[in-house]
Amino acid sequence: MTPLMKSMFGMAFCINLARRTDRWSAASDEFKKARLDVRRFDAIDGADYPSHLVPESAPLRWPITAGPYCCLLSHLSVISFAKNADLPGVMIFEDDLWLSPDFRERGDAFLREVPDNWDMIYWNGKVMLDRAVLSNEVTRPSYVYNCFAYCVSRKAYDRCIEALRTKMHWNDQLLAGLHPQMYVYMPRVPFAWQRSDLGSDNKDKHGRDHPAQHTGVAKERSDLSRKGGLPVGGLDPHVQFPIRPAS
């Protein structure tokens, strides 16, 4: 990480299942290319988790099963570790991502303009409502879905941990539910993307991927060529989602 990233986040982790060495290899290549020091965090495996220990969720279109439940527990474990280690913040990645080679440079340019009051930062994700433009680099979204690349500040640890401990929904939505009461920031133009060519381990009881698994994604790296690196069908902030001036 750059000195600025180190001062804001302390450490960076990538959540990865021990049996998905293919995904860790691919993610490691991305971190090396982007010159990021990211440590592997051993994910809790839903394939080995007894189904009777998965709590019954609220009535949902996409009910919680062992896979997404253990994904939630893995994210909860990372944030709990960051709190116990008293890190100033933590950067969290999942292992199905692509990063721009200039992630460090573009990341620093973005972070220099992020207000000091930040609670969470999403490097990319699906903006469900709208987002206000704060500067050339920074937007403030109302509600962001997807947790493949995000950051949590020290002052937001307890709120994130409390939300995830409810275990009543997918982790993406539990964290997104906090956003209306948080200071959440996101780059105006993304330089991290979720990839969809590695296969998801988070399925519902019918074997379907949750829609969050396909937000801001690209199936091939060549998909990132349109509009200066924005994924086809993904997050084009100038076209797909409303952006309003900051009030």
Task: Report residues of the chain scoring pLDDT below 70.
Answer: 46, 49-64, 66, 199-247
Nearest to 241 by CA among 90, 126, 159: 126
Q: Position 161: which residue type?
A: I
Alpha helix (H) residue ranges in the chain = 3-9, 21-34, 66-84, 103-111, 157-165, 171-176
Partners of 209 in beta bridges:
203
If you count them, how many residues does the chain have?
247
> Quick one: pLDDT at residue 44?
84
d(CA 184, CA 234): 20
> Quick one: pLDDT at residue 128?
80
Partners of 218 in beta bridges:
195
> Quick one: pLDDT at residue 68?
80
Rounded to 5 degrees, φ, ψ at 136 are: -60, -25
> Quick one: pLDDT at residue 145?
85
What are the E-state strand segments in the chain? 10-16, 39-42, 89-94, 97-99, 120-122, 126-127, 131-133, 138-141, 144-145, 149-153, 184-187, 192-195, 217-218, 243-245
> Quick one: pLDDT at residue 39?
97
